[in-house]
Structure 1
């Protein structure tokens, strides 16, 4: 576990890799989003963990089509050079209709190694 306290940063100060991933995910550009992940990366969303490019590709495709929603990047934090948190505000036709989600990224060798999405 990291003992460093996350530091608030401007959302546009996130590493370019994360901005590219988030923009592609928002635009439903699965191929570009997938290219930002390590081949053996893990993504945890809605309490389920997916490991590896094929599982992440399926998750990206499914999350794009299951609900209609708007997503706005409302905040960002840097834990250390390899760990960032991007906070998004979502509104749409999913259960509850409104949620703030924290995208917790871990980077390795210039790619996303782990992403945990949780309230």
Structure 2
């Protein structure tokens, strides 16, 4: 059964399949991404983060569940690719600001 995601989050997962430039447009100018213990602040830093991740591995993230918790939207994504341990289910915790993502934290 397909899940329904808020527009900015659906755009993020769609753009993640395309490239870092498309994906960064889903974020506010001063957005924050926390992934693998590192914090990336602002669109330029987020673009570098995405570009670096894409050069290391080929992967695709498919949203499989969504919940709301404490004002955040938590999406479980099944990530499949050519990395050790594939596939893995990750938690994407989004905070939205209007029609854009203000914060994203990716955890196991």
Q: TM-score category by the smaller chain?
A: 0.7 to 0.9
Matched residue, 1:103:
92
1:117 aligned partner: 106
Asked whether 1:79 is paired with 2:44, we answer no
The structure 1 residue matched to 2:80, chosen from 87, 91, 104, is 91
1:11 deviates by: 5.6
Q: Which runs of 4+ in 1 moved over 4 A?
A: none
Aligned counterpart, 1:36: 26
> Once the two structures are superposed, what CA deviation does each residue of 1:42-92 show, in whole Å capped at 9, x if it has no partner?
101111110111100101112222112343211111236x52111111222
**Other-structure match for 2:15:** 24
CA distance 1:11–1:65, change in 2 (3 Å): farther
Alignment correspondent of 1:13: 4
Paired with 1:11 and 1:32, the residues of 2 have a C-alpha distance of 23
Q: Judging changes above 3 Å, is the alpha-carbon distance between structure 1 residues 71 and 109 closer, same or farther for their aligned structure 2 residues?
A: closer
Structure of higher CA gyration radius: 1
3-state SS of the aligned residue for 1:96? coil
Provide the aligned C-alpha RMSD in A: 1.8
In structure 2, runs of 5+ residues without a counterpart are none
State the number of aligned residues.
108
Matched position secondary structure for 2:83? coil
When the two structures are superposed, what TM-score results if normalisation uses the length of structure 2?
Answer: 0.87
